[in-house]
Structure formats: structure tokens, C-alpha cells
Chains A and B, each alone.
Chain A
Amino acid sequence: MLSSTNLYKSFNIVQNVLLQQTRNTFVLKRRYPPPLHKKNGKLPKMKARHFIYDLVQDTNVVKQPHISVILKTFVQGVGKEGDVLTLSHNVAYKDYIVPGLAVYHRPENAEKYQQKDQNTLEEAEFSSPYAQRTMGCLSRLVLQITMNKLEPWILEKWHVRVSFRKAGFVVPEEAIEMPSIVIKGPDLSLQEKEFYVTVTINKTEKVNVRCRIHHWATGLDRLEWSEFHWKKPLEALIPEQAEVLEKMPLPT
């Protein structure tokens, strides 16, 4: 009796599972096992009830063990050659093995790629696996520096730092290199100008970040909102920077 109630309960669970789409290998079980047959003899005569199956296991629910792969080349944001990554089956296969970025972690491969790793350790292109990604993010950024429209100010490093923080980047002040001229305000002509500051990542990589000044005020003094202002090409504030700014791509 006890076993039958248990079976009933488990069956209800199975039913709930079956209502959803399942991405798995179905492991089934006959509910009514067929009768025994002679050794090496004919199979027993099967009736319809012998084809009633219950789901035993849903391989989607079972957690799959991760596999490890060895990187063949430097991969941005992941690691350098010879690094061992532990990933899920599908991710490892789809993102690393098929594009040829990594090989399976086998003794032969470990030997082959580990040795190369030791030789090229000093020649690593970037200071960290994430440096290249950060450089990309910063070079695409249009940094809006919000300054007061009514109170007089001189643009300083900490203004830029705060603006970076508002845009989601924590940049220490010593990593910021300000433009050569002193920028003073409030000056509404700055609203239509742009310049760049240079950020040093890990004291090695240098990136130019496009900056624009926005004059802030409340009430009637507030400047009118212009749509997609970050896409508009603007004039360079400092003539020496014009060439570099032209080469930096604007967001589209």
C-alpha cells in the first residue's frame, strides 16, 4: 500500500514535469514489466500495457559536470594562452572548442600548451585579461561632465572622476590626465564643444575618452533637452585635439 501511494506521488511529479517542454534525453521505465522468456529464446508476446512508460530521469534537471579546456590564444576578458578554464559542456563546445580558441584538457595538450605559456609569460600584451575590454568600453564612451550653469567653476580632475562614476566607471584621480588648457565656466559656448581626457589603466594602457560639458540648472534656467545629443558630432575645444577626436568613433 505504502509503495503504491509513493508511486502515485512520484507519478504526479512526473506529470507536472511533462507539462513543460523538456530538453533532455528521456530515460523511461516500463510500468508493467513483460513476462520472462526462455534463455536465447523468442521474446515474450508483448501487449499494449508493456508499452506504457514512466519517466525515470530528466537529464535536464540533473546537474552536468563541468569540463576543462586549455586556451590556445589570448581571449579578451577570459585569459591568456595556456590558461585552464572550467566550463559547462555546451559553453565550452560552442564558444571555445568550435571556434578553435581552446583545446580539450588532455595530458598531451596540457604539455603542449603549458610549455609555451611559461615562455611567453613576460610578453603578455595586456596588463590583465580584462584590460582590453575596459579599453574598448572607455573608447566608446561619451562622458557628460555636468557643471553648474550659474556658479563660476574651473574644471578639475575630481569633476571628471565624479562624471566617470556617474557613467559607471571608478577611475582614480591619478589615472586621469586633463587637457593642457584650463577650462573655465559657466560658458554656454562650451556646450557645443568637446575634448578628451586620457585615462591610464593599470599604469600601462592609455585610452582617450571623449568628454562634453553640460551646464546644469533647475527651474527656468534649465537648458532645453536635445534628442540624441551624444550622437551629434561637435567641434573640438582644443584645436590640437581635433584630429584625434575625429578618428574616435561616435556611438550610432
Chain B
Amino acid sequence: MASRIQATVRQLSKSYKKKTKFDIGIATELPAAYKKFWHEWKVLKPAAVHFVPQEGKWKRDEITGETLPIQNIPIPLKYPAEFHEGIWGGEAVIKGFQKRDNRRRRVPHYWVPVLKRTVVRSEVLNTNLSVTVTDRTIRLINDHYGFDHYLLKTPACDLKSMLALKLKKQILTELMNGCHRHAHDPQKQKEIYEEYKTYLSSYTPEEIEWYGLSWYEALHKVAAQKEAANKPVPLKNIYRKNLVEKLKAAGIEEHKTATDELSTTTSWLSKMNPFGKKDEA
């Protein structure tokens, strides 16, 4: 008996899959394009900024000579609300402890990046933006030879902040539409399109549409699409249509004039007296 239960449990555990965010409610209807973005944003591991990862797979213990695997457990980061209003270049707040003396109790400490406000120039959008950044962001922008290149080349897991992702989406949309903001200068428009068009190859138009949406924005979008698709048709229109069809089936010649009259009278009435009495209509 016990062995049979064990066997069924084993079998079930193989086929059982834990429900994820995407398996509940309206989220089941999210398109693959959004799932791809979500994976890029939340599942992929961001680059190590606040710690130095150990290289290689194995290491040898110096004293015992034991071979041990190398497991880099990233330092957990905190993302305050302000994080999403700036572009911090992978930096974030670290909450932890300091042990300032071996004989003393550890003390809590927050390591907060130094933020400053600066101007970033987006070539594709043809605007200057005032943004909160860190020194690291400026260095990254310089290393990528420009703000647009930095945003377009960096995956969502490293950008992380909502502002950066929204800007990236806007830049991609603008590129897809052929840089309309430079329409006054066709030569520059062409130059900029040529420079940045390589980035378009990694996205389909649908993916760009679903890029940079937060979880709730994506759900709202799905709901709105669903609602627009299943827009209810007033029953009176359906009944009228049916009636006209029935009349037509009964005898076209006889009721042709009648149907015309009907349509004219109803339209005139609906215009002049929408809340008229029933016997009038």
C-alpha cells in the first residue's frame, strides 16, 4: 500500500508543475512577446556591480587541499521607489551590516550610491533630458559612445529602472517608424537610422510594443485589448437586421418601400427624439 502511494506521488511530482505568475487569471493571456521581455528583465542575472565574482568553476582550499565548487551568491540589492525615476547604471542600495571591530557587535548599514542630476542627449529622440544618474552611468554612456547606444545595447536586467526601459521602448518605436523627429533634416534622419538600425534586428514589432511594460501595465493592456475585441453590439441593431432580412425573404418587391420608410423614420426619430414614447417609434 505504502509503496503504491509512493509510486503515485513520484509519478505525480514528475508531471506536476508549480504555477507561475503567468498561469493565473488574465496573465495567462499575456503574449509571448511580453514573456520574453519579462525574462530579459526579471529572470536574467544582472552584471556584478557591487561585488567581484570569482572566476572559474572550482577552487582548491589552501590549507586542506580540498577541491570546492565556486558559487557566486550575489549581494542582495534594494530598489527604492526613486530608483525607477533615474538611471543608476546597475547600482542600487545595499542593506547589510558592518563589523567595525572584532570585539564589537555588528551595526546595520546602508550603502547608498551617490546620485547626481545631469543632462543626457538622445540622438534618436532628438532631445536633451534631465536625469538622475551615478558616475557609473556616465562612464557607461561614454564607453558605449552615447546614451542611445548604451540603452539599446544593455539588456533590461541591467537597466532595471522603469525610466530607462520606457526610454528604450520609445527609442525602439521611433527607430521602427523611421526617426520622424529628424524629418526636417532628411540627411541626418538617414544617418541616424543607418547608425542605429542594427538594434532593430533583435526585436519584432510586437516585441517592441510589449517592451518596457510593468506587470500591471501589461495586464491592463491585455484587458483593454480583450474588451475592444468583445465590444457588445446593441440588441436593437441585431433585431432590426433580423427583421429586415425576414422581410426581404418574405417578398422583396412588396416591402422594399416599407423598409426604406422604416429606416428613414427610425433615423429621423432617433435624431429628433431619442427618448420618445414607445408607440411613437
Contact = CB atoms under 8 A, between A and B. Distances in A.
A26 B118 contact: no
B52 A27 contact: yes
Given A8-B102, A36-B71, A52-B106, A93 B138 contact: yes
Interface stretch (B141-149, B165-173, B256-264): B141-149
B160 to A, nearest CB: 15
Contacts of B91: 25
B146 A52 contact: no
Contact of A97 (B68, B73, B96, B121): B121
A25 B135 contact: yes
A28 B142 contact: no
27 contacts: A8-B102, A25-B49, A25-B136, A28-B50, A28-B51, A28-B94, A29-B52, A31-B99, A36-B69, A39-B69, A48-B97, A51-B95, A52-B96, A52-B97, A52-B99, A53-B96, A59-B135, A89-B135, A89-B138, A89-B142, A90-B138, A92-B142, A94-B118, A97-B142, A98-B118, A98-B128, A100-B121
A43 B138 CA distance: 34
Contacts of A8: 102
A97 B139 CA distance: 13
A41 to B, nearest CB: 10
Contacts of A29: 51-52
Interface in B119-151: 119-121, 128, 134-136, 138-139, 141-142, 145-146
Nearest to A29: B51
Interface residues of B, number: 37
A51 B96 contact: yes
A104 interface: yes
Contacts, number: 89
Interface in A71-120: 89-90, 92-94, 97-98, 100, 104, 106
Interface in A10-68: 15, 18, 21-31, 34, 36-37, 39, 43, 48-49, 51-53, 56-57, 59, 64, 67
Contact of A93 (B106, B113, B141): B141
Interface of A: 8, 15, 18, 21-31, 34, 36-37, 39, 43, 48-49, 51-53, 56-57, 59, 64, 67, 89-90, 92-94, 97-98, 100, 104, 106
Interface of B: 49-52, 68-69, 71, 73, 75, 91, 94-100, 102, 106, 109, 111, 113-114, 118-121, 128, 134-136, 138-139, 141-142, 145-146
